[in-house]
């Protein structure tokens, strides 16, 4: 780890999972090698994204797809696509959305700080539903008729955050939105595994779906996927690419960008700040293929092996779920001691208030097990 020593930055054992704050996980040697090769030649970025679109479409079942700089970036350019469509005038005006469809409907219980990316485009979020089941005062969440009631002529999209407790079902949201010809954007950033979720939201009728590349897929930390309807993906990529070029010089790949549908070349768009480099695109594609090829069972066995080894040392308990984790007894003070110790260790502290710490195997390597266990023992955990 000489590179971080040179920078005088300490490394840490990541038992927390692929969190952005702790730099995500490790890149497989194949992904690293592909990124190094990608950096050793120059290409036309639209052609590279068109090639990415083929791979992403194949793996997700969507009509088209692009590599973004993260799931949040996917939400931003996806929302911009729903607002501006294929109109370069509207693209140029964003985030000034006066006179455009500039409202996005969201279920109140799904609001979260990643929707900053949606609001960046200049839209107002119109919330529906009262999540009183979280207060313990009721049993329901928003329902289809409430979403239908919030849709107006100003609605650019419905944004749906996929998760185990998301209600109503995506199919119901899609039905009411499509009755009014409003597209549905799904934030599925962390919904992998299972591998089947790469296709599930598109199959349920979503118009755009975004995934994080730096979480379970194992791609570069600053990568993600946006996939969905061809016209919306075309708008999204147009608002992200560097388009400093003359009309007659511009020969974009037709399967991603249909020049005949445009009145002119859009200028640098609102998504220009979400730029992705060729190394990131290539790294993500290799990681995505590996993720799909490994399959859920092999992945579960790999993770399970890791937590079993840890359980042998610590006596903690394994809880099965989408990702098998080890639960040990511990508090927030223990978490802080782990963070500040040598070597520094990050664990999942979400249940620290209940006296439990989770060890997540997603970003652990075999060689981390011994120092991790030694550190836990030192603290009596």
The residues binding ligand PLP (CB under 6 A) are 20, 70-72, 114, 161, 187, 189-190, 212, 214, 224
Nearest-approach distance from CB 187 to ligand PLP, in angstroms = 5
CB nearest ligand PLP: which residue? 70
Please list, in sequence order, all residues whose beta carbon lies within 8 angstroms of the beta carbon of residue 88, skipping any fewer than 6 positions away. Answer: 238, 262, 263, 264, 265, 266, 267
Nearest-approach distance from CB 232 to ligand PLP, in angstroms = 18
Return the number of the residue (214 or 266) whose C-beta is nearest ligand PLP: 214
Return the number of the residue (31 or 369) whose C-beta is nearest ligand PLP: 31
Mode of pairing for the β-strands spanning 124-128 and 103-107: parallel
Nearest-approach distance from CB 276 to ligand PLP, in angstroms = 12
Q: Count CA atoms within 13 Å of residue 4 on its CB side.
A: 6
The residue whose two tokens read 């939400």 is: 75
Nearest-approach distance from CB 88 to ligand PLP, in angstroms = 27
Return the number of the residue (162 or 262) whose C-beta is nearest ligand PLP: 162
Return the number of the residue (221 or 235) whose C-beta is nearest ligand PLP: 221
Return the number of the residue (70 or 129) whose C-beta is nearest ligand PLP: 70
Given a contact cutoff of 8 angstroms between Cβ atoms, the answer to whether 150 and 124 are in contact is no
Cα diameter, the chain: 70
230-233 long-range CB contacts below 8 Å, 24 or more apart? 230/63, 230/64, 231/85, 231/86, 232/78, 232/81, 232/82, 232/183, 232/207, 232/208, 233/53, 233/62, 233/63, 233/64, 233/65, 233/66, 233/81, 233/208
Return the number of the residue (26 or 114) whose C-beta is nearest ligand PLP: 114
User: 319 forms bridges with which residues in the sheet?
Assistant: 325
Nearest-approach distance from CB 369 to ligand PLP, in angstroms = 26
Nearest-approach distance from CB 113 to ligand PLP, in angstroms = 9
Strand residue runs (E) in 108-236: 124-128, 155-161, 184-187, 208-212, 224-228
């Amino acid at each position: 780890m000489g590179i971080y020593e040179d920078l005088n930055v300490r490394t840490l054992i990541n038992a927390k999972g692929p969190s952005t704050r702790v730099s995500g996980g490790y890149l497989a040697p194949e992904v690293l090698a592909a990124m190094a090769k990608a950096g050793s030649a120059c290409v036309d970025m639209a052609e590279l994204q068109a090639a990415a679109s083929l791979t992403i479409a194949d793996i997700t079942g969507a009509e088209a797809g692009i590599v973004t700089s993260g799931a949040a970036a996917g939400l931003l350019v996806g929302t911009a696509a729903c607002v501006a469509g294929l109109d370069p005038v509207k693209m140029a005006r964003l985030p000034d959305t006066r006179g455009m469809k500039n409202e996005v409907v969201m279920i109140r219980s799904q609001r979260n700080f990643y929707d900053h990316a949606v609001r960046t485009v200049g839209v107002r979020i119109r919330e529906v539903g009262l999540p009183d089941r979280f207060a313990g005062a009721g049993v329901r969440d928003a329902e289809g008729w409430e979403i239908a009631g919030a849709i107006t002529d100003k609605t650019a999209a419905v944004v749906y955050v996929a998760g185990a407790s998301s209600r109503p079902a995506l199919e119901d949201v899609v039905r009411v939105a499509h009755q009014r010809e409003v597209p549905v954007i799904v934030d599925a950033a962390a919904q992998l595994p299972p591998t089947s979720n790469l296709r599930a939201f598109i199959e349920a009728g979503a118009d755009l779906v975004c995934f994080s590349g730096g979480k379970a897929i194992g791609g570069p930390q600053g990568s993600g996927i946006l996939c969905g309807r061809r016209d919306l993906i075309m708008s999204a990529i147009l608002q992200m690419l560097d388009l400093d070029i003359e009309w007659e010089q511009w020969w974009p790949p037709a399967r991603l960008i249909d020049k005949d549908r445009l009145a002119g070349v859009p200028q640098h768009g609102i998504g220009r700040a979400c730029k992705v480099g060729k190394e990131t695109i290539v790294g993500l594609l290799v990681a995505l293929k590996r993720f799909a090829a490994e399959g859920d069972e092999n992945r579960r066995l790999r993770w399970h092996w890791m937590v079993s080894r840890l359980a042998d040392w610590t006596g903690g308990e394994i809880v099965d779920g989408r990702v098998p984790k080890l639960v040990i007894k511990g508090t927030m003070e223990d978490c802080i001691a782990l963070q500040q110790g040598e070597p520094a260790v990050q664990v999942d502290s979400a249940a620290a208030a209940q006296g439990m710490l989770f060890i997540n195997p997603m970003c652990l390597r075999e060689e981390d097990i011994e120092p991790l266990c030694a550190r836990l023992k030192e603290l009596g955990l």
